[in-house]
Amino acid sequence: MILVLLGPPGAGKGTQAKGLEDRHALVQLSTGDMLRAAVAAGTDLGRKAGDIMDRGELVPDELVIGLIAERMDADGGPKGFILDGFPRTIGQAEALDRLLGERNKTVDRVIVIAVDDDALVARIIGRFTCAGCGEGYHDVFKKPKVADVCDRCGGSEFTRRPDDTEEVVRARLKAYYAQTEPLIGYYEQQGKVASVDGMADIETVEKEIDEALKGV
């Protein structure tokens, strides 16, 4: 199965992708995580992408398309993958269709996670992530069961993203509405979209997504 998670920053794409990995044996491919790894490693790509990400703008299509093409073959997983944060422009969606077509595959389902802007800002500002396994948490909405210990891997080191400030989140939202939201229409024309209410709690959203994947 090839599943695209589409939604604004903070909608819960990463949170839901991790749950889907566990429940459906799919592999999460997150362009945001790949780009952050490139920045941390100081690669050529990381140097090109870092300042753009800090401003909350989108990294040029050719850079992320190259990244996803590479990882799709290396890390796609036997049962398929979840695309989290890709595609984000019509150009990326067209490139994805091409890349999958060359491999006799197609996007099976696009899950749109809808959340109000004010809730998004609150979610992002309170977010932190396990440095060991990438599991996402929130100061209020999703605390680890034992304080300072990751539920998933038992790690005790957590990080916060430099682009998770209110100012940068507003810029990321602007980029989402201008460049990414039009993808909903693109995939609706292909009859692949299922929308879920991302304002609900995490478990309810999980159930709605699983319902939308029945028969895929």
Where along the sequence are the contacts to ligand AP5 (CB under 6 A)?
Answer: 7, 9-15, 31-32, 35, 52-53, 56-59, 64, 85-86, 88, 92, 123-124, 126-127, 136-138, 141-142, 172, 198, 201-202, 205
Q: How far apart, in whole angstroms, are the C-alpha atoms of residue 106 and residue 102? A: 10
Least distance in angstroms from the C-beta of 25 to ligand AP5:
20
Strand order in the sheet with 109-114: 27-30, 81-84, 2-6, 109-114, 193-197
Query: Which candidate, 176, 24, 29, 34, places its Cα nearest to that of 115?
Result: 176
163: phi then psi, degrees, rounded to nearest 5: -90, 10
Report, as residue numbers or ranges, the catalytic residues: 13, 88, 127, 161, 172
Residue of closest CB approach to ligand AP5: 32
Least distance in angstroms from the C-beta of 20 to ligand AP5:
12
Residue closer to ligand AP5 (CB basis): 6 or 213 = 6
Least distance in angstroms from the C-beta of 51 to ligand AP5:
10
Residue closer to ligand AP5 (CB basis): 169 or 213 = 169
Least distance in angstroms from the C-beta of 109 to ligand AP5:
17
Residue closer to ligand AP5 (CB basis): 61 or 78 = 61
Give 6's strand partners. Answer: 112
Q: Sign of torsion, CA 131 43 180 71?
A: negative
Least distance in angstroms from the C-beta of 188 to ligand AP5:
20
Question: How far, in Å, are 17, 23, 134, 195 from residue 37 at the CA level?
Answer: 18, 26, 12, 30
Q: At what angle do helices 31-41 and 44-55 cross, to 10 degrees?
A: 120
Helix (H) or strand (E) holding 103: none
CB 206 within 8 A of CB 213: no
Residue closer to ligand AP5 (CB basis): 136 or 150 = 136
Residue closer to ligand AP5 (CB basis): 140 or 191 = 140
